[in-house]
Amino acid sequence: MGVAASRSRVPEPALTGGLTPQQLVAIYRLMVLSRCVDDREILLKRQQKIFFQISAAGHEALQVGAALAMRPGYDWFFPYYRDRALCLALGVTPADMMLQAVGAVTDTASGGRQMPTHWSSRPLNIVSTSSSTTTQLLHAVGCAEAGRYLSRHPEAAARTEGDYRAFRDVTFQGDEVVFTSLGEGSTSQGEFWEALNTASNKKLPVIFCVEDNGYAISVPVEVSMPGGNISKLVANFPNFHFAEVDGTDPEASLRAFEAAVAHCRAGRGPAFVHGHCVRAYSHSLSDDDRLYRSNAEREADALRDPLVKMRLRLLREKILTEDEINDLEKQADHEAAEAAEHAMEAPLPAVEEITRHVYSEDLDPTSRIFATEQVQAGKTGGGMAGDAKESGQRTMADLINACLHDEMRRDPRIVVYGEDIADASREEILVEVKGKGGVFKLTAGLQTEFGSERVFNSPLCEANIVGRAVGYGIRGMKPVVEIQFFDYIWPAMHQIHNELALMRWRSNGAWAAPAVIRVPIGGYLTGGAIYHSQSGECIFTHIPGLRVVFPSNALDANGLLRTAIRCDDPVLFLEHKRLYRETYGRAAYPGPEFAIPFGNAKIVRPGAHITLVTYGALVPRSLQAAERAHREHNIDVEVLDLRTLNPYDWEAIATSVRKTSRVIVAHEDMLSWGYGAEIAARIADELFDTLDAPVRRVGAMDTFVAYQPVLEDAILPQPETILKAIVDLRSY
């Protein structure tokens, strides 16, 4: 709603010549309306009828100028929390805004889940934004990459039954631009520079708009920004169009954005528009700027208030009389008041709906549709050559690589990128060299087969990798990215936790980013030490919205990766480095349709006395312990490989524990606060009556993994550690 209404307020601006009086009035109307909605919200907040308020006051001119240079529903928008005037000018209505402020079920941006001004509109291509400053810039970059890819490969946009594509409408324009904005304080974030890096390098049509009001809450610009002027700091990025503009002047702002848009639409690269605004109010209603700004400074800013300036201009140029301006302002106030009144009566969200859209409502990865048969057992396939191929028994590394080849052949929406994952970035030398294909060679041959547009190296930058994947994902693409080592996933944690996993829930199902992140994980490497041995899967199973998979053998890795790629949720796919080329768990190539549903544990050794719940590298170690328990102590252990950690197969655990009445949960990760704690707690809670002994856990010592093998062996759980737990528990 409201798209046409708001846009029709402003006649199309011309690229040359001054704005007509009619256009100036229409711009002023939008600026005033934005301020009136802010003022109305402030009133409601003071009456405790809404619960948060942050305003666009002082930024309206820059934002209206930006919006009028672009096309809603055609171009793409990744705004930040201050962009009320931008969104009004794009077509979000005061009613939409008030519904979000009260948290109504009819809040089209989030259904009562997000604070006010956390924009989202599918019809307008405004992508759901979070409170985290700057994360949206990398989404914008990925979105622009996806738009370019789709316009070059329109066949990739086709809807296809049988996987996530059935539920993802894909549109692209060819000359679309992607807008993203942030405050000057947020330019201190690394992700700001990461986004400029890729936009510049790939000449992407992204417009970065810095709304510079001189403060990040109470911190003045000179404290966080060397030299105090962001335009000077970014000036040497190649391929950019740069503009620095008086953001309190809507006409100057509009002109700056028109030039930026022209540069981007023509494919010449990104643009950077730095607008100097004022912050007419405090940072938010939770802040009082009289505590840290002088009166003189605040008064000087008040004189530069874009509304005050525009009002004076309209009077000076005799475009409107005082009475006409008063009428216009009254009308805007009335519109805001009416929107508020309407919102007060709106129905509230139902508590029964809270968990809706945490995961895809369309495609359940535990579904039997993913339980496909091995169709080509023993035959070669995928893309990898080698000894394993001849023997028919292939390693986990081989079968992950084979799955990537198969899926990329099947699905033109898949792109693969990460650090060092290409065969060779300088593709012309591939006639001469074999190519790298990942530090563990898991992506070997993909670039050679599918080309550098679909398989490419990223900068050494984990947040960049995941942030761009969010942008690709919201456009309906399927990024299958690699984080080189689990130990270095932490720079991407912000994107994974606050963005990737949350996109669907926070937008009430309007947007989603079902990317796959493949990550080599774990220790037992002899010398892997602190930074090449880490586990920590429970940190990710604690994130609602993220699926977590951890296979223990080649066949499972192949079938689970296929499900991960075809499913409609974001998936963290953990690959144990020690298992990549183990003799244990090799398998024949199962064919290009082999898939395994999530949440489907496997009994890898049946037994009657003790249930041993485990996964990953502890599966072969648990099997060794179970064999010795049988041989040396006559104890029959049932070993259950969970295979996926979220979702996990509670039924399989419960069935086994009911049979054995004794249970150990074993994992490589540290014992305290680990994945096993949750499983143990649930067993104690729900299966207490069936237990003959306490639930036991086995895990690493509560420390990082040391370099010296003597220490590494002591820190990580060994088959002997597990055997001891088995024997102890049997005699309890």
Contact positions vs ligand TPP (CB under 6 A): 82, 131-133, 182-186, 211, 213, 215-217, 283
Q: Does 213 bind Mg ion (CB under 5 A)?
A: yes
- In sign, the C-alpha dihedral spanning 357, 359, 365, 367 is negative
Q: How far is the CB of 181 from Mg ion (least distance, A)?
A: 11
- C-alpha–C-alpha distance, residues 343 and 341, integer Å: 5
Can you tell me which residue has the tokens 């104690």?
Answer: 684
Rg, C-alpha atoms of the chain: 29
H-type helices in 367-501, by residue range?
A: 387-391, 396-410, 446-450, 462-474, 493-495
- C-alpha–C-alpha distance, residues 465 and 169, integer Å: 24
Q: Is 532 a catalytic residue?
A: yes
- C-alpha–C-alpha distance, residues 536 and 252, integer Å: 51
Tell me whether residue 131 or residue 231 sits nearer to ligand TPP (CB atom).
Answer: 131
DSSP state, residue 162: T
Tell me whether residue 108 or residue 186 sits nearer to ligand TPP (CB atom).
Answer: 186
Q: How far is the CB of 463 from Mg ion (least distance, A)?
A: 22
Q: How far is the CB of 241 from ligand TPP (least distance, A)?
A: 22
Decide which of ligand TPP, Mg ion, none touches 237; Cβ closer than 5 to 8 Å per partner kind. Answer: none
Decide which of Mg ion, ligand TPP, none touches 411; Cβ closer than 5 to 8 Å per partner kind. Answer: none
Catalytic residue among 263, 274, 494, 532: 532
Q: How far is the CB of 95 from ligand TPP (least distance, A)?
A: 25
Tell me whether residue 283 or residue 577 sits nearer to ligand TPP (CB atom).
Answer: 283
Best CA proximity match to 636, nearest among 626, 645, 646: 626
Query: Residue number with the shortest CB distance to ligand TPP?
Result: 183
Q: How far is the CB of 277 from Mg ion (least distance, A)?
A: 8
Q: How far is the CB of 60 from ligand TPP (least distance, A)?
A: 13
Tell me whether residue 77 or residue 573 sits nearer to ligand TPP (CB atom).
Answer: 77
Can you tell me which residue has the tokens 């171009």?
Answer: 75
- SS3 (DSSP) at 669: strand
Helices 21-46 and 322-344, axial angle in degrees (round to 10): 40
Q: What is the 3-state secondary structure (H, E, C) of 107-126?
A: CCCCCCCCCCCCCCECCCCE
Q: How far is the CB of 74 from Mg ion (least distance, A)?
A: 29
- SS3 (DSSP) at 163: coil
Can you tell me which residue has the tokens 């011309």?
Answer: 14
Q: Does 58 bind Mg ion (CB under 5 A)?
A: no
- C-alpha–C-alpha distance, residues 513 and 78, integer Å: 15
Footprint of Mg ion on 132-191 (CB under 5 A): 183-185
Tell me whether residue 128 or residue 133 sits nearer to ligand TPP (CB atom).
Answer: 133
Q: Which residues pair with 415 in a beta bridge?
A: 479
Q: What is the 3-state secondary structure (H, E, C) of 503-521?
A: HHHHCCCCCCCCCEEEEEE
Find out whether 144 and 173 touch, Cβ atoms under 8 Å.
Answer: no
Best CA proximity match to 56, nearest among 278, 251, 385: 278
Decide which of ligand TPP, Mg ion, none touches 311; Cβ closer than 5 to 8 Å per partner kind. Answer: none
Tell me whether residue 173 or residue 188 sits nearer to ligand TPP (CB atom).
Answer: 188
Q: Which positions from 703 to 722 touch Mg ion by CB under 5 A, shown as an x/- string?
A: --------------------
Tell me whether residue 186 or residue 552 sits nearer to ligand TPP (CB atom).
Answer: 186
Query: Residue number with the shortest CB distance to Mg ion?
Result: 183
Tell me whether residue 211 or residue 305 sits nearer to ligand TPP (CB atom).
Answer: 211
Q: How far is the CB of 288 from Mg ion (least distance, A)?
A: 16
What the block records as the tokens of 324 is 């006409």
Decide which of Mg ion, ligand TPP, none touches 401; Cβ closer than 5 to 8 Å per partner kind. Answer: none
DSSP state, residue 154: G
Decide which of Mg ion, ligand TPP, none touches 82; Cβ closer than 5 to 8 Å per partner kind. Answer: ligand TPP
H-type helices in 586-649, by residue range?
A: 618-633
Best CA proximity match to 584, nearest among 534, 621, 637: 621
Decide which of Mg ion, ligand TPP, none touches 218; Cβ closer than 5 to 8 Å per partner kind. Answer: none
Binding positions for Mg ion, rule: CB under 5 A: 183-185, 213, 215
Residues that are catalytic: 532
